[in-house]
């Protein structure tokens, strides 16, 4: 850790708070410190009555390379868990503790961010890989630069997808299967065609376009924005999205257990994924 904040906060427009991922040297890969600082930033924006819209941006060449697989939510971090989730036994041995830590760091935080009552906008450029998708998907709107790409390589090590399993709602069922089965890299224009992205703009116009959109939204009554967001989220809930995400998370950890059994008690993630993470940096 350095003294440099991993998440920056500013107010670029009236009624708009902007949170900026600030780990560019690691392509904004999410370690536990970044997740906690991002959660603190969302909390501060929610408590600020002058803020009506929250923008999530990123410094450096990429929006996010996903989870920091060199950390893997190790047990040594167990004292920093348990702040927001309903899970426990973070120090339990083997897979029990690992699952509890992922429930807290990923499922609990993503669900909380998705349910924030103020509109949120993801401003995506460069690569958005694996866990980076989770950060974008929990936002209400996604604005992408023309150079943005989206990629989930999790099937390469035997997983079913990310902890926040929103693929069918983001792409539709058949394209979600293709995205997961192939691990192909999809462009911003393809993501827009499928409805995952609201707008695709030139990289040099990304920040201004996002802030202009945020400003137009911020001009609306805050209670009306809250009501509209909760109504759309209720429609997704009625379709079974929360239950589907929970079930997919359990399947996700079944794949972790298989990896444990096949690798003499060591997570295959710890062998394979750091190399994949290094490849993403290059």
Q: Alpha carbon of 93 to those of 89, 254, 257, 262: distances in Å? A: 9, 16, 13, 18
φ, ψ for residue 141 (rounded to 5)?
A: -130, 150
Assess if residue 2 is contained within a domain.
Answer: no
Assess if residue 265 is contained within a domain.
Answer: yes
* Strand-strand pairing, 7-13 and 149-151: unpaired
- Assign 282 a pLDDT band (cuts: 50, 70, 90): very low
For residues 184 and 198, what is the distance between their CA atoms, to the nearest angstrom? 21
Ranked by mean pLDDT, the top range of 144-148, 258-262, 265-269 is: 144-148
Q: Residue 2: its pLDDT value, please?
A: 57
φ, ψ for residue 11 (rounded to 5)?
A: -125, 85
Judged against a pLDDT cut of 70, whether residue 101 lies above it is answered with yes
Tokens encoding 231: 């109504």
Q: Residue 199: its pLDDT value, please?
A: 98
Assess if residue 245 is contained within a domain.
Answer: yes
Judged against a pLDDT cut of 50, whether residue 274 lies above it is answered with no
Percentage of residues of the chain with pLDDT beyond 70: 82
Judged against a pLDDT cut of 70, whether residue 258 lies above it is answered with no
**Among residues 205, 224, 273, which one has the least CA distance to residue 67?**
273
For residues 113 and 153, what is the distance between their CA atoms, to the nearest angstrom? 24
Query: Model-level pTM?
Result: 0.89
* CB-CB contact of 126 with 148 (8 Å): yes
Assess if residue 24 is contained within a domain.
Answer: yes
pLDDT digit string (tens) for 156-180? Answer: 878 888 889 999 999 999 999 999 9
Percentage of residues of the chain with pLDDT beyond 90: 66
Count the residues in the chain: 282
Assess if residue 1 is contained within a domain.
Answer: no
The count of other CB atoms within 10 Å of the CB of residue 40 is 14
Q: Residue 97: its pLDDT value, please?
A: 76
The count of other CB atoms within 10 Å of the CB of residue 19 is 22
Q: Residue 270: its pLDDT value, please?
A: 45
pLDDT digit string (tens) for 171-211? Answer: 999 999 999 999 999 999 999 999 999 999 999 999 999 99
For residues 179 and 163, what is the distance between their CA atoms, to the nearest angstrom? 15
Burial grade of 8 (CB within 10 A; 0-12, 13-18, 19 or more): middle
Q: Alpha carbon of 207 to those of 8, 18, 56, 146, 213: distances in Å? A: 15, 11, 11, 13, 10
Judged against a pLDDT cut of 60, whether residue 240 lies above it is answered with yes
- Assign 281 a pLDDT band (cuts: 50, 70, 90): very low
Which parts of 71-194 fold into alpha helices (H)?
A: 94-102, 109-114, 131-137, 167-171, 173-182, 188-193
Q: Please tell me the total count of domains within the chain.
A: 1
pLDDT digit string (tens) for 18-43? Answer: 999 999 999 999 988 899 999 999 99
Q: Residue 73: its pLDDT value, please?
A: 58
What's 230's domain CATH number? 3.90.226.10
Q: Which domain holds residue 50?
A: 7-281
- Assign 74 a pLDDT band (cuts: 50, 70, 90): low
- Assign 104 a pLDDT band (cuts: 50, 70, 90): confident
pLDDT digit string (tens) for 215-227? Answer: 999 999 999 999 9
* Strand-strand pairing, 16-21 and 7-13: antiparallel
Q: Residue 259: its pLDDT value, please?
A: 64
């Amino acid at each position: 850790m350095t003294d440099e904040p991993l998440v920056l906060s500013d107010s670029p427009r009236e009624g708009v708070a902007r949170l900026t991922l600030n780990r560019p040297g690691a392509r904004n890969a999410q370690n536990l410190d970044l997740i906690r600082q991002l959660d603190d930033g969302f909390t501060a924006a929610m408590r600020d009555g002058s803020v009506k819209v929250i923008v999530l941006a990123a410094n450096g060449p990429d929006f996010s390379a996903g989870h920091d697989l060199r950390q893997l939510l190790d047990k040594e971090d167990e004292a920093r868990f348990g702040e927001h989730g309903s899970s426990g036994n973070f120090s339990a041995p083997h897979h029990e503790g690992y699952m509890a830590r992922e429930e807290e760091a990923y499922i609990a935080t993503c669900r909380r961010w998705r349910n924030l009552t103020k509109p949120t906008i993801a401003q995506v450029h460069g690569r958005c890989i694996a866990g980076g998708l989770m950060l974008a998907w929990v936002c209400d709107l996604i604005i992408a630069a023309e150079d943005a790409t989206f990629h989930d390589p999790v099937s390469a090590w035997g997983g079913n997808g990310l902890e926040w399993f929103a693929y069918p709602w983001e792409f539709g069922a058949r394209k979600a299967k293709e995205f997961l089965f192939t691990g192909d890299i999809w462009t911003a224009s393809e993501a827009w065609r499928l409805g995952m992205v609201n707008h695709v703009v030139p990289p040099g116009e990304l920040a201004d376009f996002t802030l202009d959109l945020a400003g137009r939204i911020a001009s609306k009554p805050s209670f009306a924005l809250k009501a509209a967001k909760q109504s759309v989220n209720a429609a997704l809930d009625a379709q079974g999205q929360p239950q589907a995400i929970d079930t997919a998370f359990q399947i996700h950890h079944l794949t972790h257990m298989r990896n444990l059994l096949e690798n003499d008690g060591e997570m295959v993630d710890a062998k394979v994924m750091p190399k994949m993470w290094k490849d993403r940096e290059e």
